[in-house]
Structure 1
Amino acid sequence: MSPIHAIGDIHGQIGQLETALELIEKHGEPGAPIVFCGDYVDRGPDSRAVIRLLMEGQAAGRDWICLMGNHDRFLLRYLDDPRYEDPNVSRPLLWTDPPLGGAATLASYGVDVAPGRSLEEIHADAREAVPQAHRDWIAALPRIHETGDQIFVHAGLRPGVALEDQAEDDLVWIRNGFLESPVDWGRLVVHGHTALDRPEFYGNRLNLDGGTGYGRPLVPALLEGRTVSLLGRTGREELGISELVGY
């Protein structure tokens, strides 16, 4: 049973990411890997800085595993087509529309997203501003990471579908069918994607999206098998099992 750390959705909050890494350094297990569960961009002001920090950490040899989230994938698809609408969004929205937060990501790259500029103008500037190295890094992110004790993924897993047959859209987007399921996957499923007020542990899964994209703290976790401890300024807090409710 090897310890491993995990961090949920960051959403462009570089200060929160730096604090979470400091908490792992101070209260975590020395040398244990860190899995980042995706959604590095959108809504917050510093998406570019978040990606740069993660890329630099990996390049420096840190044992960091970074998964792809739906917002990260949305950035790539926007750069190919500014009018792309992901069918998994609950209503028709462009990535640059306010609920999704893509405009904040572009602004972090120095793109002028002021009202009145055309979609085509903003897109042309974005293709120039987002470094190819960042695009290549995002495109190469794994969608899932497995250990002997955990399965890490951005959004979740489709019950009744073998792990090797899971669809990418489910791995980065699923809610209904997964969140309310009591299915035991044989290992703890660790995910983000669905924002809560704070991370919650349900026995079969751990949701680490504590709402950093909406201004709440980014709380890192230490996992030892199915034992979950949140890392805060005063140390480790073992997380009990919450009641499963429907979504």
Structure 2
Amino acid sequence: MRFTIAIGDIHGMWRIAKGLLADLTARYPENDSRFIFLGDLVDRGGANARAITDLCEFFKARPESVLILGNHDEYLLKCLQGTLTYVELKQWISNGGYDTLASYGYHGEYDLKGMQRDINRAVPDHKPFLERAVSMFHTERHCFVHAGVDPGQPLNQQDDRSLRWIRERFLDYPGPFEKVIVHGHSITKSGWPEVHPHRVAIDTGSYRTGRISAAVFDNDVLADFVCAEQVASQVVCRYFDAAMVEIAPMDNTERPTIESLSTSAG
């Protein structure tokens, strides 16, 4: 697999994410590329249920794709599995879960057993889709995770909570890791992808900045970035090299516009 394409946090901003994916799938052949979604598909944006519905179909078309489970996705998965507690529900709602539950048709009356039953009946493929998610994915040189890694533990001994929630102990760690860590979870200070000595950060604040970013690796070497953002009524993609210097798109590539995408994206 020549190309590995990591997608940063979506957070229900599906119109922008769908524009980004349309651009990337047009440029990278199915038989030579793999997509890795770094988690947090849901919460805070409006098209959360739609995002998962469409990604279920995307994964069928691109079966080499990988989903890393984010901390926000885990709340939804627990809800669908029937293991979410009311304490966790309160935490989830206060951190964007209200928008996700609203996208499934719930607006303030939260019965955990009823939601589990009704959502699984309405969209039976959402739970197994999330259950197939992993906590990390390795290539020879890179480790793809949602939040980061615990600097005090080897990669093969990381715990799921650190992989989904860690911030300062990872972000402030000055030393090297076993592999370069590619992650989302913490919005970059610049609002653009950032390349640090031992990590690549691509959470560019979808719900805050209106920007979703992808990092492209060519034969396991960071090659470039693609950033999609909504400008007026269109989703526009901008292209950068590995040093975040803006470049023009390839002349011989026909890129779809948002008008060519399904209006059901929300």
Could you tell me which residue of structure 2 aligns to residue 14 of structure 1? Answer: 14
Question: Is this contact kept in 2: 1:9–1:213, CA < 8 A?
Answer: no
Residues in 2 aligned to 1:73 and 1:234: alpha-carbon distance in whole angstroms: 29
Matching of residue 95 in structure 1 with residue 84 in structure 2: no
Change in 2 beyond 3 A, CA 1:108/1:13: same
Residues in 2 aligned to 1:94 and 1:195: alpha-carbon distance in whole angstroms: 20
CA deviation string 1:167-193 (max 9, x = no partner)? 100011111211011222243211100
Could you tell me which residue of structure 2 aligns to residue 55 of structure 1? Answer: 56
- Name stretches of at least 5 consecutive residues in structure 2 with no aligned partner: 228-235, 245-266
Percent of aligned pairs with the same amino acid: 28
Shift of 1:235: 6.1
Question: Is this contact kept in 2: 1:154–1:172, CA < 8 A?
Answer: yes
Give the stretch that moved more between structures: 216-225 or 188-197. Answer: 216-225
Residues in 1 aligned to 2:116 and 2:221: alpha-carbon distance in whole angstroms: 43
Question: Is this contact kept in 1: 2:193–2:203, CA < 8 A?
Answer: yes
Matching of residue 240 in structure 1 with residue 209 in structure 2: no
Could you tell me which residue of structure 1 aligns to residue 196 of structure 2? Answer: 202
Residues in 1 aligned to 2:134 and 2:147: alpha-carbon distance in whole angstroms: 13
Paired residues for 1:1-247 under 5 Å: 2-28=2-28, 31-78=32-79, 79-85=82-88, 94-97=91-94, 100-111=95-106, 113-114=107-108, 117=109, 119-120=110-111, 123-131=112-120, 132-196=124-188, 197-224=191-218, 225-232=220-227, 236-240=239-243
> 4+ residue runs of structure 1 moved beyond 3 angstroms?
26-30, 232-236
Residues in 1 aligned to 2:28 and 2:213: alpha-carbon distance in whole angstroms: 12
Q: Flag the structure with higher helix content.
A: 2
Residue identity in the other structure for 2:182:
V
Question: Is this contact kept in 2: 1:155–1:173, CA < 8 A?
Answer: yes
Q: Flag the structure with higher strand content.
A: 2
- Name stretches of at least 5 consecutive residues in structure 1 with no aligned partner: 87-92, 242-247
Change in 2 beyond 3 A, CA 1:164/1:186: closer
Could you tell me which residue of structure 1 aligns to residue 232 of structure 2? Answer: none
* Alignment coverage as a number of residue pairs: 227
Could you tell me which residue of structure 1 aligns to residue 259 of structure 2? Answer: none
Residue identity in the other structure for 2:116:
R
Give the stretch that moved more between structures: 224-233 or 50-59. Answer: 224-233
Could you tell me which residue of structure 1 aligns to residue 256 of structure 2? Answer: none
* TM-score for the superposition, normalised by structure 2: 0.77
Give the alignment's Cα RMSD to 1 decimal: 2.3
Change in 2 beyond 3 A, CA 1:56/1:27: closer
Residue identity in the other structure for 1:53:
D
Residues in 2 aligned to 1:95 and 1:183: alpha-carbon distance in whole angstroms: 33
Question: Is this contact kept in 2: 1:23–1:231, CA < 8 A?
Answer: no
